[in-house]
A and B are shown apart, each in its own frame.
Chain A
Amino acid sequence: MRWLARQRAFLDFTLLSLWRRKGKNAALILAYALVVFLVASVMFAVRALRTEAANVLAGTPELIVQRMLAGRHETVPESYVATVKAIRGVSRVTPRLWGYYFNRAAGATYTVMAPAGFAHGHGEIVVGPGVARTWLSPVDGQYLFRTVAGDSAGFVPVEALPEDTELVSGDLILMSGADFRRVFGLPEGFYTDLAVSVPNERELETVTEKIQRALPDTRPIQRRELLRTYAAVFDWRGGYVIVLLSGAGLAFFIFAWDRATGLSAEERREIGVLKALGWDTADVLSMKLWEGLTISLTAFLLGLIAAYVHVFLAGAGLFAQALKGWSVLAPRLDLTPAIDPTELLSLFFLTVAPYAVITLIPAWRAATTDPDAVMRG
């Protein structure tokens, strides 16, 4: 208890002393908070994007089978469906029709899909929120597509997809199978790829192997491979943004070092007086450490709050482009707040730990100052 009361007294004294030099300390805290803010923004955004990708992929099939021809993706003939379905462990095989459509006027590429149970009729489409936003000049309320035959086909948008799935459905256009084949010239009996459902995850490897043996010209892709790729890509991007930011961090730490080393005459006199009044080196060192801790924690909290607002309320404007890596059709994305306590620990190690270490020697120098020398000087 006595120890606690003593530390409280130190903290009390430190806060008052920091307050006396508020201008100078505010500048330091602001610069420090900026460094924390930058790193924290990247970390929050990466985590949120990973969570978003995982949520999106949760609804995708466990296995996708593509056919390859000369190392390129080819259409799959209908006969493959029965072959895959005959494999034990496969519960359902859905042939899929999808492709990319480049709209010259919008300068954007859209994903066009023909879902199996498309609820609307011929000549009607369902569009994602990004499509509605970017598709320029619909004629008479119709979206005009240029088909492979060279003529144009008009489609009436009858429904818009909800905004909350924008990361996946932003650039999506849904149409019937017949319309899809007309626009892209895909012959009957051929599909883009097969979505394979394997309910037991442990059978996935064996099923994958069997598919490759039965259909050697195919490439099965597992959902967890996709998840792994997304996680690696987002982490990698986040990591590199932090590496790029390390310049700013280094500049700040040099500034902090410089500031901690260059004690003002007033601060030196203050330490001299304290020591003359009976404070010993350990006390002054405690005070200096409390000072560092106060500055660190204040800046850490400020930076953290600012990063939270930036990422989850303002859409991570500063880094969104670098981290998401989308082109023209960047989806408008509200990231779901997701913070991991251990992430805060890494943030702490990236920002507070170096600060604590570099300000240690200046703090010690100040604490071991000879009162006599200071008061005379």
Chain B
Amino acid sequence: MSVKPAVLALLLTAGLVCLTLAAAAVQGLLIRRGFDLASGSPRQLALERRTYLVSTALSLVMAFEIMSLFLLVYVADDLHELFVGAMCAAGTFNVNSYGYTALTLKTLGALGCGVWLAVNHADTLGYDYPLLKSKYLWLSPLSLLVILADYVETRFLLGLAPDQITSCCGAIFSEAAAGVAGTLSHVPPRLAQALFVAGLLAVARSAAHVLATGRGARIFAAASAALFAASLIAVVSFISVFWYELPTHHCPFCLIQAEYGFVGYPLYAGLILGTACGLAVGALAGAGRHASLAEVLPRLKRRLTVAALAGFGLTAAIAAWPMIFSDFRLG
């Protein structure tokens, strides 16, 4: 393993997050099973008090989990010098078989945490814990996902030894490469552009509907998820190509390097913010039936929708920037 401060930070965070999540998930189950708002028993009072601890602890560690995704990408980029053949984070993640799995699971975990935090926030807005049961129901699978992600991440970090031989991003994300990366690089830019623009339009249209009527939240969430997928294809297929001004270079990780002004960080942060907020709007779609949320929920959903639009807007702006302001054109 590489004993590097940032790696130590990731390992420590993974440990803290897993321990806290495991404890909170167990508490969540106990609360879910025994919670009865109508009862005034000491047990119910104790459970009510415990929900404060669980939801505060979860808010904290989930925020850490989301931040640690970016730290993981940074660490992978920073460590590439150690590995023969690696030119950026793409090579580091390829050093052992845990790398890309860890990245995928952590991304899904970060999205899940974002949605859960939004639901938790909505729950605290109502006086009678309206979403308590459903939020703790989803906590167990989410905890399992995050713990699995952190486990795979730890295996990935512990398995990194200097001088291992890996591939450079030019080989992993080339049109000739096999696997998902190769397939994504092979998507024709015109098709990827069409998908990306269609996704943006779908999100914008459904967002307008949610903002105007307060309905159609699930469609907006589905559009957000679709745009997330379309954006990932777009990054590999044409956004990266435009930023590098090199038709053969499809790497989605070189974007986070200083050479390209770290533009990858806001690009991906916008994408994750947009997707998480979009999915959260969908997750809160049925919550309006609770009387205690009837007044506050529409406002929260509107805010989340605006935040999602801002996130996707940032991603779209970064994608469009080189297409408008550089002389590079795809023939």
Contact = CB atoms under 8 A, between A and B. Distances in A.
Q: Do A and B bind each other?
A: yes
Interface string B57-98: 100110010011011001000100110100000000000000
Interface centre among B9, B13, B57 (most CB of A within 10 A): B9
Contacts of A240: 3
Contacts of B78: 342
Contact of B56 (A242, A346, A360): A360
A227 B81 contact: yes
Nearest to A235: B4
Contacts of B20: 357
A339 B64 CA distance: 22
Contacts of A238: 4-5
A282 B56 CA distance: 10
A353 B68 CA distance: 11
A353 B16 CA distance: 8
A239 B13 contact: no
B35 to A, nearest CB: 16
Contacts of A39: 5
Interface stretch (A28-36, A147-155, A306-314, A361-369): A361-369
Interface residue SS majority, chain A: helix
Contacts of A132: none
A263 interface: no
B7 A239 contact: yes
Nearest to A288: B56
A343 interface: yes
B71 A281 contact: no
A361 B60 CA distance: 12
Nearest to A42: B5
B44 interface: no
Interface in B251-277: none
Contacts of A243: 3, 8
Nearest to B256: A342
Interface in A328-360: 342-343, 345-347, 349-350, 353-354, 356-357, 360
Interface in B191-215: none
Contacts of B289: none
Contact of B71 (A224, A349, A361): A349
A72 interface: no
Contact of B5 (A285, A350, A353, A360): A350
B52 A281 contact: yes
A228 B12 contact: no
A228 B82 contact: yes
A39 to B, nearest CB: 7
Interface in A223-239: 224, 227-228, 231-232, 235-236, 238-239
A357 B8 contact: no
A127 interface: no
Interface centre among A224, A235, A349, A350 (most CB of B within 10 A): A349
A349 B9 contact: yes
B71 A345 contact: yes
B49 interface: yes
Contacts of B6: 342-343, 346
Contacts of B67: 345, 349
Interface in A218-259: 224, 227-228, 231-232, 235-236, 238-240, 242-243
A131 interface: no
B71 A285 contact: no
A46 interface: yes
A232 B82 contact: yes
A345 B49 contact: no
A342 B8 contact: no
A242 B82 contact: no
A367 B82 CA distance: 48
Contacts of B84: 228
A368 B56 contact: no
A231 B68 contact: no
A362 to B, nearest CB: 11
A370 to B, nearest CB: 9
A289 interface: yes
Nearest to A364: B53
A243 B12 CA distance: 11
A43 interface: yes
Contacts of A227: 81
Interface string A280-305: 01100100010000000000000000
B124 interface: yes
A228 B81 contact: yes
Contacts of A232: 2, 82, 162
Contacts of A349: 9-10, 12-13, 64, 67-68, 71
Given A228-B162, A353-B13, A356-B60, A368 B2 contact: no
Contacts of B74: 342, 345
A231 B12 contact: no
B70 A285 contact: no
A349 B82 CA distance: 23
A242 B71 CA distance: 18
Contact of B4 (A239, A345, A356): A239
B295 interface: no
A360 B53 contact: yes
A243 B292 CA distance: 50
A353 B49 contact: no
Interface centre among A232, A238, A281, A285 (most CB of B within 10 A): A232
A331 to B, nearest CB: 23
B36 interface: no
B128 interface: no
Interface in A1-44: 39, 42-43
Contacts of B52: 281-282, 285, 364, 367-368
A239 B2 contact: yes
Contacts of A285: 52, 56
Contacts of B3: 235-236, 239-240, 243
A323 to B, nearest CB: 12
A236 B53 CA distance: 38
A42 B5 CA distance: 9
7 contacts: A235-B4, A238-B4, A239-B3, A282-B124, A285-B56, A342-B70, A364-B52
The 5 closest A-B pairs by CB, nearest first: A239-B3, A346-B9, A349-B9, A346-B6, A342-B74
Given A285-B56, A343-B5, 10 more contacts: A224-B81, A228-B81, A228-B163, A231-B82, A236-B4, A345-B67, A345-B71, A347-B9, A349-B9, A353-B64
